[in-house]
């Protein structure tokens, strides 16, 4: 895990040394996971993704797709017709990531009510 240990406890090294920081920095942003799971339903086009992911702007969709392509999660195919058609689909690496993230996502789905109530409790007790 690119960590060292001191008396049995993990130490997390900074930036480049730590794969956790790297990957979380990539897919921990606002949109990557949503794109990832959208494409899990099959290849899709730019504007379709834009519709399916509520609130994403053109700018962020483009940018996040580029980053994901760069990291090898997504393939981009241009069909040279008029008007042009562009399809995005997951690579094997992307599907692997989605599978790995699935546990977290389904946990989130099951427990978000616990979190909500913990939050309300905390806010009631404090300011």
Tokens 């992307």, residue located: 94
Torsion of CA 28, 32, 36, 37, to 10 degrees: 80
Q: In the bound complex, what is the minimum distance in angstroms from residue 119's beta carbon to DNA?
A: 16
Query: Rounded distance, CA 3 to CA 20, Å?
Result: 10
How does DSSP classify residue 73?
A: S
Q: Tell me, what DSSP letter sits at residue 45?
A: E
The answer to whether 56 touches 70, Cβ cutoff 8 Å, is: no
Considering only residues 41-80, where is the footprint of DNA by CB under 7 A?
45-48, 55-60, 62, 65-66, 76
**77 contact choice in DNA, its own copies, none (CB below 5 to 8 Å, kind-dependent):** none
Give the span between the Cα atoms of 101 and 94, in whole angstroms.
10
> Of these, 57, 63, 85, 107, which contacts its own copies (CB under 8 A)?
107
Give the residue, chosen from 84, 109, 124, 127, that forms a contact with its own copies under the rule CB under 8 A: 109
Closest CA to 33 of 53, 3, 11: 53
Nearer to DNA, 96 or 108 (CB): 108
**Residue 4 vs 85, nearer CB to its own copies:** 4
User: Residues interacting with its own copies, by CB under 8 A?
Assistant: 1-2, 6, 8-15, 19-30, 33-34, 37-38, 41-42, 44, 48, 51-55, 69-72, 93, 96-97, 99-109, 111-112, 114-115, 117-119, 121-123
């Amino acid at each position: 895990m690119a960590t060292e240990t001191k008396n049995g406890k993990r130490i997390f090294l900074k930036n480049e040394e730590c794969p956790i920081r790297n990957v979380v920095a990539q897919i921990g942003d606002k949109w990557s996971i949503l794109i990832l799971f959208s494409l899990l339903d099959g290849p899709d086009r730019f504007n379709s993704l834009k519709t399916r992911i509520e609130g994403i702007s053109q700018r962020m969709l483009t940018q996040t797709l580029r980053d994901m392509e760069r990291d090898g999660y997504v393939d981009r195919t241009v069909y040279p017709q008029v008007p042009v058609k562009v399809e995005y689909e997951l690579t094997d690496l992307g599907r692997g990531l989605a599978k790995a993230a699935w546990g977290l996502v389904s946990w989130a789905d099951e427990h978000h009510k616990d979190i909500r109530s913990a939050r309300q409790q905390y806010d009631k007790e404090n300011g």
